[in-house]
Structure 1
Amino acid sequence: MSKKSASGHIGSDEVNVEEPSIGRLIAFLFLINFAGLFVIIPLRKTMIIRHRLTQQVVTLFKSLGGTVLWPLLQWFFAGGKNCGFQAFPTFGITAYRRGFYFDFSMANIGVGMICPPMITTSMLV
C-alpha cells in the first residue's frame, strides 16, 4: 500500500507501508501465475485422465454456450436495479423486501454441479 492511500488509517506507520513499483508488481503476478500452474498440473492428471473428461467436450461446449447466452438473456429483461432475473421474487414480494429471493447466477449453478449432492443439500438447508 502506498503512503498516500495509507495516510490517516490505524497502523499506517513506516513498517506497514511500501511504495509499489512496477518490478514488484510484475514479480507478484509471475508468482501468482506459476502458483496457479503448479496447482493445475496435478488436477489435470486427476480430472482429465482419471475421470476421462476428454470424452465430455460436447457437454463442455454446451455449458460454455449457456454461460454466454444466459447473461445476454438477463440483460434483455433487466429494466433497472433489482429488476429482471438478477433478483427473482420466488417466495413473493413480502419475502423479497426482506431479502429472500433466488439469484439465477451461473456461479451458483456451477457450484451445485461440482459439489456432491450431500454438500449442496446442506448448503441449501
Structure 2
Amino acid sequence: MNSKNTQCIKWLSLVLVAGIAIWQIVSGNSSFGTGLLVGVVVAAGSLEIRQRRISDMQKKGMNPYDERAWSLAGMAAYVSVRIFVISIAVIVLIGSIWGPQVQVNPYNLLGLCLCALLGLYVGSYYYYNRKF
C-alpha cells in the first residue's frame, strides 16, 4: 500500500466519522456530535500538518522514515507494553484478593487503559529519543 492509498483511507475514515457526527447532531445528541466533529477537525488539521512536514523533509532530501525512528518506536512499544502488562497483572491480582469494592463502567475502564498505554508509549518514545 503506497502513501496515496494510505492518505485516501485516512481521509475517507475522517469523512465517515464526520458523517456520524453530523447524524448525531441532527438526531438530537448534539453534545456527542459536536465533540466528535471537533475531534475530526483536530485530526484533519494534525494530519495535514504532519503531511506538510514530511513533504518538506523530502524536498530537503531527508528521509523521514529512517531506521533510527523505527528503532526508537520499536523500543518504546516494547517497554510500554511490558510496563502496562505488569501493572495490569498487579491490579488484577490485588483486585482478586480484596474483591471488587468499586463498580466501574467497563467502557470507561477500557478507555482509561487505552489512555495509559498510549501515555506509556509516548513517554518511553521521548525517553529513548533523548537517550539514543
Please tell me the TM-score bracket, short chain as reference.
0.3 to 0.5
- Computing the radius of gyration from Cα coordinates, the structure with the larger value is 1
Query: If the length of structure 2 is used for normalisation, what is the TM-score?
Result: 0.36
Higher relative contact order (CA 8 A, sep 6+): 2
Structure 1 length-normalised TM: 0.38
Q: Which has the higher helix share?
A: 2
